Amino acid sequence: MDLPPLADLLATARVVALPLVTRFRGIDIREALVFEGPEGWTEFSPFVEYDDDEASAWLEASIDFGWRKPPAPLRDAIRVNATVPAVDPDSVAAVLARFPGCRTAKVKVAGAGTTLQQDVARVRAVREALGPEGRVRLDANGGWNVDEAEHAIHAMCEFDLEYVEQPCATVFELAEIGIRTKYLGIPIAADESVRRAADPLFVAEAGAADLLVIKAQPLGGVHRALSIIDAAGLPVNVSSALDTSIGLAMGAHLAAAVPSLEYDCGLGTASLLAADVTGSPLFPENGSIPVRRVVPDPVLLDRHEADDERAAWWLARLERVYEVLAERE
């Protein structure tokens, strides 16, 4: 796809700083840059620690969603999971209440400064809250080595786990833990080994994962992500990167075009935000979010506008990353 002029991106660009309900991924504020293209509003929000080269896929995705028509949808709503940060067991019920109707919960484990005992207590509280018919999955964000992962999976397999997401950091570790725990029948999912990999298909080709977690922004957009899904030939869970509702709309359009969705998707994360850019956020309702475009509210854009220093940082980043894409043209 040809790049639109940088001036077209900057013309409507707004930088927002949205507070989170609970500290998540080590942050209390989620910053994002949103702008409008011919097809509608879109989002550029790579995490602040990512360099310009890694952020370039996120900008490709933003342009793809703002300047290119999405694929024809196969469904008009997407079932989503609840996301439980590394909270105390006593806080689990309040977190799940923010995801009405969700039958699945993804529980963060292996966080810095948390113990396996704390993880087990949190997962137990989630299982008790959801009941025996609920679905519980773990997300370790690559936080364990192989021995730690094996020990942790054994410690939590009693909770009837749907799968374990990125238990270890590398593809070879994922393959090893899959072998060690195969007899337990708990699938291994790959996230970082897809979205942060030089070759997002390597983990599938290596047979190191049973399913892939697919995120639109880190993978260059809806159309490129669909090509990765097709080439990988594995089940997928379409998930978010703690986006605003504009970014979640991008993920919803991706999920809507996936031929088969066996798993509830990680696109309910508007519930983790204490504020959003729209008065009609993509909150889960009856366990699903609709597939639709999101238009920001000018009042909310003003209310949650980042301060001058942070706005300047994001606009300068946008220009640098745009140059990275332009050099590849």
Which has the closest alpha carbon to 41: 277, 216, 287?
277
> Binding site: residue ranges?
139, 165, 191
Give dist(CA 219, CA 18) in Å, integer: 23
Q: Are 232 and 201 in contact (CB under 8 A)?
A: yes
Looking at residue 15, its pLDDT comes to: 98
Looking at residue 26, its pLDDT comes to: 82
Decide: helix, strand or coil at residue 16.
strand
Per-residue pLDDT for 281 more than 90? Answer: yes
How distant is the alpha carbon of residue 205 from its chain centre? 22
Decide: helix, strand or coil at residue 8.
helix
Looking at residue 27, its pLDDT comes to: 87
Model confidence band, residue 24 (pLDDT cutoffs 50, 70, 90): confident
Looking at residue 156, its pLDDT comes to: 98
Which has the closest alpha carbon to 149: 132, 163, 134, 129?
163
pLDDT tens for 154-179 read 999 999 999 999 999 999 999 999 99
Task: Supply the residues annotated as catalytic.
Answer: 108, 215
pTM of the model: 0.96
Asked: is 77-290 a CATH 3.20.20.120 domain? The reply is yes
Where do the domains of the chain lie?
6-69+298-328, 77-290
Q: Are 95 and 85 in contact (CB under 8 A)?
A: yes
Give strand pairing partners of 78: 289
| Terminal Cα distance for the chain, rounded | 9
Give dist(CA 139, CA 167) in Å, integer: 7
Task: Indicate if 77-290 has the same CATH topology as 6-69+298-328.
Answer: no
Token pair for residue 68?
A: 């290119």
pLDDT tens for 237-258 read 999 999 999 999 999 999 999 9
Average pLDDT over residues 282-301: 98
In this structure, the dihedral spanned by the alpha carbons of residues 239, 276, 271 and 235, taken in order and rounded to 10 degrees, is -10
Looking at residue 25, its pLDDT comes to: 78
> Binding site for Mg(2+): residue ranges?
139, 165, 191
Q: How far is CA 102 from CA 74, 80, 203, in A?
A: 21, 7, 29
Q: Are 296 and 305 in contact (CB under 8 A)?
A: no
Average pLDDT over residues 287-303: 98
pLDDT tens for 110-132 read 998 899 999 999 999 999 999 99
Give strand pairing partners of 79: 288
Average pLDDT over residues 57-71: 98
Per-residue pLDDT for 1 more than 80? Answer: no
Q: Please, what sign has the CA dihedral across residues 241, 36, 328, 230? A: positive
* CATH code of the domain occupying 6-69+298-328: 3.30.390.10
Model confidence band, residue 22 (pLDDT cutoffs 50, 70, 90): confident
